[in-house]
Structure 1
Amino acid sequence: MSIADNLGQIEKRIEKAAVKAGREPASVRLVVVSKMQQPSAVDDAARAGQRLFGENYVQELVSKVSQVGEQVTWHFIGSLQSNKVRQIAGLVEMIHSVDRLSLAREIDRQWQKLGRICNVLVQVNVAGEATKSGSSAGELLELVRNISLLPNVRIKGLMTMPPFFDDPEGARPYFRELRDLSRMIADEPIANVEMNELSMGMSGDFEVAIEEGATLVRVGSAIFGERQAS
């Protein structure tokens, strides 16, 4: 099947999951994960109607921005080192993976140079896995309060990556916990903080994530197939 066919199938599954959860399908946005894909594949997806793409690696993002011919929007969704923030400043609409204050401060510095504001999501390690980045649930509120004071950063919501399960139902409690944390923060009167976005769910479990409130689902392999080295 073509990229366009795969996109169409994913969009139908997103719509079905949203309707099942009593939500408007338009409340869920698809972030097509294009890491390790050729720029031509991004162009193909864009010509099929997809406009929002997520990249995991700084160098690959910078390269693709200059090579993709279609008008698209980029999100940075991977682990981000502070010393590489300047390379993506101004190139992305949103960073999903802000997990510490030092990173947020560097984002603030780099976007301040541009006279612009960067939208971010705070990454939460809901399962407490040692191999994954993210704030702990217990430290989340303090981190959000501190980031909210940075003038060139705006928190728009939360992101998580749950443990891998063969059965997507296994991820449901982690998606639900992120939603509950989002509501907890939303109930706090913190200026410059919104909890409108929940980035959770990937190719294997995005339907469960949508049922638990995801507004951004990150899907790559189900659209592009096996990754190709660029």
Structure 2
Amino acid sequence: MNLAKNKQEIMKQVAVLVSDEQKAQPVEVIAVTKYVDVATTQVLVNLGVQHLGENRVDKFLEKYHQVKGKSLTWHLIGSLQRRKVKDVIDYVDYFHALDSLKLAQEIQKRATKPVKCFLQVNISREASKHGFYVEELDGLLEELAKLDKIILVGLMTMTPFEASDDEKQAIFHQARLINENLAKKKITQMPFEHLSMGMSGDFALAIKEGATFVRIGQSFFKE
């Protein structure tokens, strides 16, 4: 694989999309390194990648402690079991999969500092996906407002693998509208200023609909 070429292509595509959409806010590209080893991840960092994302706690911790670089930002993007919160939460800069009140309460109990979290919403209502349904959000925020270690920076959502581009864009569009409405509530520690959505196959659609963080894995490591 040609990591330098792949990285250059991704960043160029994102820059063009940001310019075309006249976005006031930058789009941060998270390199999802769950399928590659520490050495390959280190090469990416040496090429200038600053945002790293992992799905699993063990892989996150392995890379956190071994990959070296200035100003790295670490994203835990996969589901987190409550029993593992204590092992990892203080190393996480952004947690993208807050999908239950009990998990939030465990983070509140274990974290020694506030954690920037994305609330995972299941807009497509897929049974196989985690996340809150849209109609659950208002009641949920009342409970989360009691937890001072949780900072809700925005929503995270995913689209069904088999969805058409139109269907994916509709889901991303709905996520943006919900995020904007939640931001208007101006709840303490809930700015809802970011959107985590879009992966290798659909990040262009996500950026057009307001994504500020995109989670890209396969496109970095293609042959």
Q: Report the TM-score, using the length of structure 1 for normalisation.
A: 0.92
Please name the residue that 2:50 is paired with: 51
Residue 168 of structure 1, CA deviation: 3.3
Q: Within 1, Cα distance between the matches of 2:144 and 2:106?
A: 11
For the 8 Å contact 1:55–1:77, the answer to whether it is kept is yes
Q: Within 1, Cα distance between the matches of 2:141 and 2:120?
A: 11
Q: Report how many residues are paired.
A: 222
Please name the residue that 2:60 is paired with: 61
Residue 50 of structure 1, CA deviation: 0.5
**1:18-57 equivalence runs, <5 A:** 18-24=18-24, 27-57=26-56
Please name the residue that 1:110 is paired with: 110
Residue 186 of structure 1, CA deviation: 1.4
Q: Within 1, Cα distance between the matches of 2:194 and 2:174?
A: 14
Q: Within 1, Cα distance between the matches of 2:73 and 2:21?
A: 27
For the 8 Å contact 1:201–1:214, the answer to whether it is kept is yes
User: Are 1:154 and 2:151 an aligned pair?
Assistant: yes
Please name the residue that 2:132 is paired with: 135
For the 8 Å contact 1:145–1:190, the answer to whether it is kept is no
Query: Which string of whole-angstrom CA distances, capped at 9 and with x for unpartnered residues, describes residues 139-186 of structure 1?
Result: 012222321220111111110011124753431000001001101111
Query: Which string of whole-angstrom CA distances, capped at 9 and with x for unpartnered residues, describes residues 29-81 of structure 1?
Result: 00110102111111111111111011000111111112213342211000111
Residue 106 of structure 1, CA deviation: 0.7
Gapped regions of structure 2 (runs ≥ 5)? none
Please name the residue that 1:178 is paired with: 175
**Cα RMSD over matched residues?**
1.5
For the 8 Å contact 2:6–2:222, the answer to whether it is kept is no
**1:210-221 equivalence runs, <5 A:** 210-221=207-218
Q: Within 2, Cα distance between the matches of 1:102 and 1:166?
A: 31
Tell me: CA distance 1:133–1:145, structure 2 relative to 1, closer, same or farther (3 Å): same
For the 8 Å contact 1:98–1:120, the answer to whether it is kept is yes
Q: Within 1, Cα distance between the matches of 2:46 and 2:78?
A: 25
Percent identity reads 34
Gapped regions of structure 1 (runs ≥ 5)? none
Q: Within 1, Cα distance between the matches of 2:197 and 2:15?
A: 16
Tell me: CA distance 1:43–1:56, structure 2 relative to 1, closer, same or farther (3 Å): same
- Which 10-residue stretch deviates more, 143-152 or 38-47? 143-152
Q: Within 2, Cα distance between the matches of 1:15 and 1:219?
A: 15
Please name the residue that 1:14 is paired with: 14
Q: Within 2, Cα distance between the matches of 1:40 and 1:168?
A: 35
Q: Report the TM-score, using the length of structure 2 for normalisation.
A: 0.94
Query: Which string of whole-angstrom CA distances, capped at 9 and with x for unpartnered residues, describes residues 111-140 of structure 1?
Result: 1xx2x1111010000000000000000001
